[in-house]
Structure 1
Amino acid sequence: MKSINEYVQAAHSNAVSKGWWDPEPSFGEVISLIHSEVSEALEDFRNGKQPTEVWYEADDGNHTVQWNDSRKPCGIPSELADIVIRVFDACGRCGWGEALEAWCSKAIPEPGCAVDEERSLAENLNIIHGNLTDCSRAESWQAFKFAIVVQNVEKLAGFYDIDLEQAIREKMAYNATRPQRHGGKKL
């Protein structure tokens, strides 16, 4: 099992090697990209996918239930992993790997800012959107705010018995195989 700081370093190193920090996006753009992963999890749910449903997609669009590093992991578990991976990347860029690791062990979201098993998946994803908005507003303590995002994604995964660390490992392994700035995206 890797430490959070090790995941932070690996996620950021991969993003840099794939050209995602050239040119460097603004902090607001980084936060917006994390928001997009939360929205993708919601879209999978809206499309009738179960929270634990995972499938793998090849470049030709064919689906399979077996994973290998050339098939893209898909589904809500993968989108939750993407949220955390993007947080790790952002923290790597800012040099907050150790701070994120420390805060993840002790940060506690304020009431109303924490996911709750009583809420629906969509409501909990909205809480995470709010956590991300807090990150963009904070003039300091961003590592603390990012820790709350990570904690809430972990809790949400736990509500549905999703092995978040496994999803992160699979997605990071797949990301390492992707071409430079895959898809020709601007951000």
Structure 2
Amino acid sequence: MGQITELVQEAHKTAVAHGWWEKEPEFGTLIALCHSELSESLEEYRDGRQPYQLYHEKNGRPEGIPVELADVVIRIFDMCGHYGIDLEGAILDKMRYNQWRDYKHGGKLI
């Protein structure tokens, strides 16, 4: 078992233990929650923080763009744990595929 797979299991176990799966959220709601974490990352940037900047609230809670990005990944890990998705396998498969794609495939500007 790889490290990503272990993190997926740990994230889902923690979410279950803290009550987030007592009533299963709709798939769209789970995706929206991932979007919200990305939006929080953007808000940190809009507030003048740099992408690498990590800081802590007075209560010790970590904040900043790195933390919001971590929250996105943790939510994705939790979803994958619930649905039984082999995220590590999917990442490795997609990264191998991307190595052979054409330069700026699709021809789009961004």
Which TM-score band applies after superposition, normalised by the shorter structure?
0.7 to 0.9
Unmatched 5+ stretches in structure 1? 60-70, 113-118, 120-187
1:25 aligns with 2:25: yes
- Separation in 2 of the partners of 1:13 and 1:103? 21
Report matched runs for 1:161-176 at 5 Å.
none
Match for residue 79 of structure 2 among 72, 90, 107: 90
1:49 aligns with 2:38: no
Deviation at 1:75, TM superposition (A): 0.3
- Separation in 2 of the partners of 1:101 and 1:81? 16
Deviation at 1:106, TM superposition (A): 2.3
- Separation in 2 of the partners of 1:14 and 1:58? 24
CA RMSD of aligned residues (A): 1.8
1:78 aligns with 2:67: yes
Question: Residue in 2 aligned with 1:39?
Answer: 39
Query: Structure 1 runs of 4+ off > 2 angstroms?
Result: 108-112
Secondary structure in structure 2 of the residue aligned to 1:74: strand
Deviation at 1:58, TM superposition (A): 3.5
Letter in 2 for 1:87: I
Secondary structure in structure 1 of the residue aligned to 2:94: coil
Q: Would the alpha carbon gap of residues 5 and 78 (structure 1) be closer, same or farther in structure 2, given more than 3 Å must change? A: same
- Separation in 1 of the partners of 2:58 and 2:68? 17
Letter in 1 for 2:18: K
Match for residue 100 of structure 1 among 82, 87, 103: 87
Question: Which structure has more RCO (C-alpha within 8 Å, separation ≥ 6)?
Answer: 2
Unmatched 5+ stretches in structure 2? none
When the two structures are superposed, what TM-score results if normalisation uses the length of structure 1? Answer: 0.50
1:52-104 CA distance string (max 9 Å, x none) = 11001144xxxxxxxxxxx21110001111111000000000011xx211111
Secondary structure in structure 1 of the residue aligned to 2:93: coil
- Separation in 2 of the partners of 1:80 and 1:94? 21
Deviation at 1:23, TM superposition (A): 1.3
Number of residue pairs the alignment of both structures matches? 99
